[in-house]
Structures are given as structure tokens and as C-alpha cells.
């Protein structure tokens, strides 16, 4: 066997490949089953190897992985952009709200945190109240023309009341406390400021400067109910018709009921006609609530007459106010509203002259009802008087404010429909001397 034959038939131990002959090129299978091609250079006789052909599977897998990676990255970037956009929009809306608030209420600030050491035991810790203005003394002086006497519109237990105009155009009633400074003043007014209802006068601000304390309320332009019921001698003026009186009675009842519905109930303790104010739509708004803790006992029980007809007689002995005490005062308010006369005892030695005794002793209710109401209002007026007498009854027999509201709504529904509507019904102007917030 020649060398050429041996070379063409023997395996190469180095590469384990079959070596083809010099004259031709043939494919051979390796022992791993892969086809290879071997060639020999005819000039130098050195065998050369042809590289193996790599399969196409790996490039395809790498391309697919690259596509998936690009899609994932694009989704991640999109999500991040959406989140950034949402955050920017929220910041923009917040800045707009802040801008509107600062424009509409330039004087609005959060209440400064007061020292809790002087609060009564068990009292809630101070909280911040929104929409309560801290007004400076210079602002109040400018609003009232340096507390001019011509702007005094009343005087009550808390002190003098001035009408004023703030720099932002808000008309206000400013109550000036002239007694000993109250150390827990901030704590109490924050409690009052939280009370909000359509039939309650809103506290809008306060001032505490140089041992002087002020409460600033919304100004109700048409004064209290008493100014529209009777003159300075307590006689009926006939300014309000039955429709208006029922509307006022219902509004005052709703304001008082809102105070009683709080937990715990907020007792008014000084409810009377002079503390029920009227706006231009005959909407009744109860004022002077929540001030009991700011007054001393002497101030609280003080009255312009020897006998306070609005005060529950049982309080003279017990001095324990309750929801029923406010209901008694509301009953007297109803009697004033229907009779058109002031509930004041000008002769303490003769209790028969009180409005309550007159209502109880009237055999003919028409003699008690304000004659300016007319005959068509008589049936509804009698029902209101009956309700008022239930309110001034012995304490356990008095109805709750919720029941009073339901009864007034029933009377209004059955009686108002039969009353003629008077075109141009409006409240007449009230002079500056009206006792607002008395």
C-alpha cells in the first residue's frame, strides 16, 4: 500500500478527521456526526481544516431577546413619563388652589398654637381652624374709624359691638370684650369657629392685643327680630306678616337644633329675640352662642330687667343649664313672634304682666295674637302659641327641638298655602343703633 493510499484512508490523530486525497475534495463525517470538508494544498502538502458552520439558532434567540428588552425598556420609560406628568399636574392644581385662597382671603392665617398649660383640665388640645382670620388691632381701628361711637350698634354681656369694614371689603360686627382678660380665649374661639350652619352667625376672626380681646362676626344687615316686631315701648309694629314669622321661627329652630345635635350638645344659654338676626331674605341666624365660658357668673345671669323672662325659672335655684333650658327660651321667643310684644317684666311685683302668663290666661287667643296678622292667620297663630306653651311647660314635658321643627314645618305646609303672598315683601332698613348681637 502506498503512502498516498495510507494518507487517504488513515485518520489523523491530531484532529480526528479523515484526510482526503490531494486530487479531490470530499465531505466526511466526524465522529461527532458533523459534516466537514478537508482539503490539502497541492503545493506544500500541508493539510488545512475548513471551519465548522455554526447553526442559526443562537443568532435568532439573541435577536428575539434584544427585541423583548427594547419593548420592556420602552414600557418602563412610558410608565415613568406618565407618573411624572401626573405629579406635575397635581402640583399645578395645588398651586392654583393656594393662589385662589390667598387672593380671596389675604388676612387668613392659621391660629398660632397656644400654651396648653392654662387650659382647664380635660379640655381638648388646641387645633388649627381654617378660614378664621387673625386680625390686627390696626385693621380693627381702620375698620371702625378708631372705634368711633357712631359705629356702635349695640352692647351686650360680652361688651360693645361696632360695625366695621375690613380692608378686603368684608362687613363685620366686632364685639369688644371690656372685662377681665380671659386666659383661655383662643381655645374657646377655636371651638366656636368650628360650628357652621346656615342659621348660625359665623365667627370670621379674632384679635388679641394689649390685653384686649375682640370677636369678629359676619355683619347681618337687618338687625334682630325684636327690631321688626315691636317699638321701643314694646308695642307691635306690624312689620312682619305670618309667612315671614313662620319662616323666622323655623330658621331659628334649625340653628338651635344644630347646636343641640353636636356631641356633646352645645347649649346656647342666652337664647332670645335679640340674638336672632335677619338677613335680606328673612333667613334667621342665631348669634351669641358658645360664649358662656368667656363670661363670669355675674355677667351670665345679669339682665336688663329684674326678671329675665327668657330664662328658665328653674335655673334660679339649680343653675344647671340643659337642652331643656334653651327650649324654654325658644318658647318665649315664639310668644314674642306671634304676639308682636316684648317679653319683659317691667313690674317685678306683678308676674301676671309677663307674656307667658298673658298667653296662658287668654280665653280668646285672638286677643293675644298680633292683630296686624289678620283673620286668615289666626288658625296657624293659635297652633304656634300652643307649641310655645309646651316649650315653657314644666321641664320633663317640653318637646325636643327636632319635634318643634317638625311641628313648625307641618304648620307652614298647611297654613302658608292659604295665605296671600304680598308682592315686594322686604325687610325695612334698620338704624345703626339696633342692638345687634345683644
Residues at the binding site are 175
The residues, any chain, with a CB within 8 Å of residue 26's CB and separated by 6 or more, are 20, 37, 38
Q: Are 201 and 220 spatial neighbours (Cβ–Cβ below 8 Å)?
A: yes
The residues, any chain, with a CB within 8 Å of residue 403's CB and separated by 6 or more, are none
Q: Left (φ > 0), alpha (ψ -120 to 50) or beta: where does 288 sit?
A: left
Strands (E), 178-283: 203-209, 212-218, 276-278
CB count, 10 Å around CB of 356? 19
Q: What is the SS3 assignment for 216? A: strand
> Whole-angstrom Cα distance, residue 236 to residue 367?
13
Q: Are 8 and 21 spatial neighbours (Cβ–Cβ below 8 Å)?
A: yes
Q: How many CA atoms lie within 13 A of 51 on its CB side?
A: 3
Q: What is the SS3 assignment for 71? A: helix
Phi and psi at 118, nearest 5°, equal -95, 5
> Whole-angstrom Cα distance, residue 436 to residue 175?
10
> Whole-angstrom Cα distance, residue 316 to residue 314?
5
Annotated binding site for ATP: 175
Of 382, 308, 374, the closest CA to residue 338 belongs to 382
Q: What is the SS3 assignment for 63? A: helix
Q: Are 249 and 408 spatial neighbours (Cβ–Cβ below 8 Å)?
A: yes
Residue 257 grid coordinates: 337644633
- Cis peptide bond N-terminal to 349, omega within 30: no
Amino acid at each position: 500500500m502506498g503512502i498516498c493510499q495510507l494518507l487517504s484512508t488513515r485518520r489523523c490523530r491530531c484532529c480526528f478527521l479523515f484526510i482526503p486525497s490531494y486530487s479531490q475534495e470530499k465531505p466526511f463525517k466526524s465522529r461527532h456526526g458533523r459534516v466537514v470538508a478537508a482539503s490539502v494544498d497541492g503545493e506544500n502538502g500541508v493539510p488545512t481544516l475548513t471551519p465548522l458552520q455554526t447553526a442559526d439558532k443562537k443568532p435568532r434567540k439573541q435577536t428575539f431577546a434584544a427585541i423583548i428588552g427594547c419593548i420592556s425598556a420602552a414600557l418602563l420609560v412610558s410608565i415613568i413619563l406618565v407618573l411624572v406628568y401626573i405629579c406635575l399636574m397635581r402640583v399645578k392644581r395645588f398651586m392654583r388652589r393656594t393662589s385662589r385662597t390667598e387672593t380671596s382671603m389675604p388676612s387668613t392665617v392659621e391660629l398660632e398654637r397656644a400654651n396648653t398649660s392654662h387650659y382647664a383640665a380635660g379640655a381638648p388640645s388646641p387645633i388649627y381652624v381654617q378660614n378664621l382670620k387673625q386680625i390686627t388691632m390696626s385693621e380693627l381701628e381702620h375698620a371702625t374709624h378708631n372705634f368711633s361711637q357712631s359705629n356702635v350698634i349695640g352692647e351686650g354681656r360680652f361688651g360693645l359691638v361696632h360695625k366695621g369694614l375690613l380692608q378686603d371689603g368684608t362687613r363685620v360686627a366686632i364685639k369688644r370684650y371690656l372685662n377681665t382678660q380671659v386666659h383661655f380665649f383662643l381655645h374657646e374661639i377655636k371651638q366656636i369657629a368650628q360650628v357652621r350652619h346656615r342659621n348660625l352667625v359665623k365667627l370670621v376672626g379674632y384679635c388679641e392685643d394689649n390685653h384686649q380681646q375682640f370677636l369678629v362676626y359676619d355683619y347681618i344687615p337687618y338687625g334682630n327680630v325684636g327690631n321688626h316686631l315691636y317699638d321701643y315701648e314694646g308695642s307691635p309694629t306690624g312689620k312682619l306678616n305670618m309667612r315671614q314669622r313662620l319662616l323666622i321661627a323655623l330658621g331659628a329652630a334649625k340653628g338651635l337644633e344644630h347646636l343641640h345635635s353636636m356631641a356633646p350638645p352645645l347649649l346656647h344659654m342666652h337664647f332670645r329675640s335679640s340674638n336672632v338676626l335677619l338677613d335680606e331674605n328673612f333667613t334667621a341666624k342665631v348669634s351669641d352662642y358658645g360664649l358662656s365660658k368667656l363670661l363670669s357668673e355675674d355677667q351670665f345671669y345679669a339682665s336688663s330687667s329684674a326678671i329675665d323672662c327668657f330664662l328658665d325659672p328653674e335655673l334660679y335655684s339649680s343653675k344647671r343649664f340643659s337642652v331643656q333650658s334653651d327650649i324654654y327660651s325658644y318658647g318665649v321667643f315664639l310668644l314674642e313672634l306671634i304676639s308682636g310684644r316684648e317679653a319683659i317684666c317691667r313690674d317685678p311685683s306683678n308676674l301676671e304682666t309677663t307674656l307667658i302668663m298673658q298667653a296662658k290666661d287668654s280665653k280668646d287667643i285672638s286677643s293675644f295674637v298680633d292683630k296686624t296678622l289678620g283673620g286668615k292667620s289666626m288658625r296657624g297663630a293659635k297652633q304656634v302659641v300652643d307649641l310655645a306653651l309646651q316649650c315653657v311647660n314644666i321641664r320633663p314635658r317640653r318637646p325636643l327641638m327636632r319635634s318643634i321643627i317638625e311641628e313648625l314645618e307641618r304648620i307652614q305646609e298647611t297654613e302658608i298655602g292659604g295665605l296671600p303672598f304680598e308682592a315686594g315683601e322686604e325687610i325695612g332698613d334698620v338704624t345703626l343703633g339696633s342692638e345687634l348681637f345683644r
